[in-house]
Structure 1
Amino acid sequence: MREIRFNEETLRDGQQSLWANRMPTGPMLPIAPAMDRAGFGSINIMSGSAFEACILYLNENPWERLRLLAQLMPKTDLQILIRGRSAFGWRRFPNDAIELLIKCLQKSGIQGLAIFDGLNDLNNIKWHFQVAQEIGLQVHPALVFALSPAHSDAYYAAKARECAELGVHSVSLADASGLLTPERVRTLIPAIRSAIGNLDLSFVSHCGTGLGTACYREAMKLGVDILSTASLPLSQGNSIPSTWEILSYARENGLKARLDDFLIRKIDDYFYWVAYQEKKPVGQAVSFNPAQYIKYAAHQIPGGMMSHLVSQLKNLGLERLVPEVLDEAGRVRQEIGYPVMVTPFSQIVGVQAVFNVIQKERYRTVPSDLCLYARGYYGEPAAPIDPNVKDRILQGEDPTPIDPTENYLEPVV
């Protein structure tokens, strides 16, 4: 009987997607021992945005959260999510800062690093792999899914093969925007599997379009080794599927899972209580709407960026322009090489779309971040930038290409 393993994401993805990382450390601690005994293959407990929320909104020390959770969960591999060269910040850090961060994470009890780059440019994160491997941490790179002609099955297979050749412990396909469909899963998962052989293949997809659970069901049939899930109250909506639901489907498909049913239910009940105590919403299932999916797939602006964009236009008395801005965002994204719409690229595309619409002249005003992007500062996009658009972006600016790795050796620590 084939075994499927679970990566628990309540404390990271679940509360990030539904509660904007506003769960304090206190409510996490009483349930941590039960989570440790429940049989999860790993538990992802934090990310850079959670670090930021601890400091800016919760008045907490994020390092103390890591240490406390590590003490209470000694049996399970604890992971943390790192956002490429930005790590836990908004600027890009050189090698010595990345090395110091990774070593501090290990000392705080972290055993595995989930690492992604917004452009899926592995040159930006190879150093992370090397440092982690040298000190004995597990390396779990995530390839971020996006829809475009450039993001083909062959593209992801090539990226996965490159990860495998770098000696990582698993490769993850991460659909942060809920763009995957069951039909695409049926071709994409086999392509990645053929590229990585027997290396562990992990899968996560969000439920904002109503397709997350269906994609999980297909993925487990196709031989995925690890699925990321969350407790029931912190699943669905813009989050990921629940552990209980996916566990049930796995058993229906004849798969073995080493999860304790009683403890999974206990964890679900506990976080319902936390939601009540903290006055937070619980996740609700979203029904798939084909028309809305088509509109969303055209621009791929994530929920957090979308709410900010609408709010800003409303404050300017320009809320009527939202549909036009979204259409323009899809066009800008296409012209600059189809970046995955995660931080900072969703902001770069969104801001440029607003300027183009409001000023009624495309690329009349270009933010400095887009100029840097066009010069290669952030890495290599999936497709070339339209040369005419690139000329407009860099008009009056230094057009010299930037090697994103050239400053990685300059010490800052």
Structure 2
Amino acid sequence: MKLKFIDETLRDAHQSLWATRMTTKMMAPIARTMDETGYFMINLAGGAVFDTCVKYLGEDPWERLRLMRRLIPKTPLCFIVRGLTAIGWKLVPDDVVELTIRTAAKNGVRGLMVFDGLNDIRNMELSVRVGKDAGLYVIGWLVYAQSPVHTDEYYKQKAQQLIRLGVDAVMLEDASGVLTPERTRTLVPALQKAMGKVPLILHCHCLTGLAPVCYLEAIKLGVDMVATAISPLAQGESLPPTEFIARYAPKMGRAVELDDKLLKETAAYFTWVSKREGKPLGQILEYDPRQYQHQIPGGMISNLVSQLTEAGIQDRLPEVLDEVARIRQELGYPVMVTPLSQYVGVQATLNVIEGERYRTVPDEIRKYALGYYGELAAPIDPNVLDRIAGNAQPVSGRPAELLEPVLDKIRATQGPFASDEELLLYVYYSPQTLKNFYASRNDCSRYLSATTPLTVLLKELAGRREIKYFQLQKGKLQLTLS
């Protein structure tokens, strides 16, 4: 049985290691090589990518999708939506979620990954339905956590619910890196039994160093696909390296159809990019048992350290991590994925700084406790719930039903908009953020000509007036410029 690969180099890997700062200019030269490598799918965009493009890189994320589709015509590109927030941070109604997915499909996406931070399948129903209607290959995520309530039976039931929605595959996603080989041996068979012929995908981060071992265990058990990253952007807070898994899978009787030569070319390219841009290479992390208590995703750890440093209290990080673990237990063991991990992190920081627990409660934590984000995995500690919610009553039913459609009103009062893409940027971002974005916007289309590392090199040389003579030789090829 063949083992298929979903590449995360262009999305999750640089989100985890480079704070999502990989530009389209860095992606374009290697895109055609990646397209020919043999991946089942290449994951390209989600909420963090959109945020960084708009707020920090001056790139239109929709333009990135279109350009990369032209450079990667064969391998399906994938797009992520997360529950009731889709690609943003605030809760958005169904009409926004639907237009977001259809617009992504229009811009070249052929795969859709759908998840919800609470594993509330109701929050995924619309996205699955719209994705299937748009002709996309829909992958339903189950986000993994270690807790008394996140049992094998829990995930088995959730997988069955996703299959009833009609997903094409189910992915077990471990953003915190807390899956162990022992748990893999029980959980993967439980999911396979529940899923029948529907493909199972494993997606784990390497924060405890155990993810590659979990992959090998899952491969022996017959998992259908794995999500990996090219080695320079693997390990650490990122995912297992593609080359390592591709090398060992055949030894366990699993055929792999990735082109080894092209993998080496891609690895060499991103090693060069990391050195050129001053970006870190992925490193194997030491095993840290504290990860199993706070379960903070890797990318969030670095941001948390940065925020504490700015506040001059970086020495209190151990207290904040201990507080995160305590809050997780009190709040019913939320899975530490976006956006809930950020909300818990903020609450923990406030508790430590103010010296009084829950003295200040962000509105997002209050909404979570009252069910506005969906069904909780376990009840909240009654004493904490009283402190958070007071006399407010929790909501019931599908949370999205509490949100009124907004697009027609926005079109009527704030339009006209040149396109659905422009409308959606207006929905997800503030006027000031968009003003700054349009003032500094880059034209990504110029990267279409940079299709190989040699092309990039020649363009760089052409701009260096101080270089009078250049010679390149590789095998029988010799190039001289003067």
TM-score range, shorter chain: over 0.9
**Distance (Å, rounded) in 2 between the aligned partners of 1:315 and 1:409:** 39
Q: Which residue pairs with 2:266 in the alignment?
A: 267
Question: Residue 128 of structure 1 corresponds to which residue in structure 2?
Answer: 127
2:377 aligned partner: 382
- Answer yes or no: is the 8 Å Cα contact 2:96–2:407 preserved in 1: yes
Distance in 2, matches of 1:242 and 1:63, equals: 28
Q: Deviations over 1:344-398 (max 9, x none)?
A: 2222222222333334333232222111111101101111112222112112x53
Which among 279, 296, 316 is matched to residue 301 of structure 1?
Answer: 296
Structure 2 residue 168 is the aligned partner of structure 1 residue 174: no
Describe the shift of the 1:63–1:214 C-alpha distance in structure 2 as closer, same or farther (beyond 3 A).
same
Which residue of the partner structure matches residue 354 of structure 1? Answer: 349
TM-score (norm 1): 0.94
Q: Is the 8 A contact 2:94 2:400 kept in 1?
A: no
Q: Measure how far apart 1:7 and its partner are.
A: 0.7
Cα 1:374–1:244 shift into 2, 3 Å: same
Change (3 A) 1:310 1:23: closer
Most deviating of 359-368 and 108-117: 359-368
2:58 equivalent to 1:59: yes
Shift of 1:402: 5.7
Letter in 2 for 1:249: Y
Alpha-carbon offset, residue 409 of structure 1? 5.2
Q: Counterparts of 1:72-87 in structure 2 under 5 Å?
A: 72-87=71-86
Q: CA deviation at 1:273?
A: 1.7
CA deviation map 1:61-93 (0-9, x unaligned): 111111111112111111112222212211111
Tell whether the 8 Å contact from 2:238 to 2:298 is kept in structure 1 after alignment: no
- Report if the CA contact (8 A) 1:206-1:238 is conserved: yes
Structure 1 residues 327 and 261, CA gap change in structure 2 (3 angstroms) = same
SS at 1:113 equivalent: strand
Partner residue, 1:29? 28
- Counterpart residue number, 2:393: 399
Q: Give, in angstroms, the shift of residue 209 of structure 1.
A: 1.1
Residue number in structure 2 paired with 1:326: 321
CA contact (8 A) 2:14 2:22 kept: yes
Provide closer, same or farther for how the CA distance between residues 75 and 366 of structure 1 changes in structure 2, counting only shifts above 3 A: same
Q: Which amino acid aligns with 1:399?
A: Q
Aligned residues: 407
The amino acid across from 2:384 in the alignment is V
Alignment partner for residue 341 of structure 1, among 325, 336, 341? Answer: 336
Partners of 1:22 and 1:317 in 2: how far apart? 25
- Opposite residue 392 of structure 2, the aligned amino acid is D
The within-5 A match list for 1:1-400 is 2-287=1-286, 289=287, 292-293=288-289, 295-395=290-390, 398-400=392-394
Q: What is the alpha-carbon distance in structure 1 between the residues aligned to residue 308 and residue 321 of structure 2?
A: 12
Residue 400 of structure 1: how far off its partner (Å): 4.5
Larger radius of gyration: 2
Identical positions, percent = 51
What RMSD, in angstroms, separates the aligned Cα atoms of the two structures? Answer: 1.6
Q: Which runs of 5+ in 1 are unaligned?
A: none
Question: For the Cα contact (< 8 Å) 2:6–2:39, is it kept in 1?
Answer: yes
Structure 2 unpaired stretches of 5+:
409-482
What's the offset of the Cα at 1:33? 1.2
2:9 touches 2:228 (CA, 8 Å); kept in 1?
yes
What is the DSSP-based 3-state SS (H/G/I as helix, E as strand, rest coil) of the residue aligned with 1:241? coil
> Partners of 2:303 and 2:25 in 1: how far apart?
29
Counterpart CA distance in 2 for 1:303 and 1:37 is 30
CA distance in 1, matches of 2:312, 2:50: 34
Mapped contact 1:94–1:412 kept (Cα < 8 A) = no
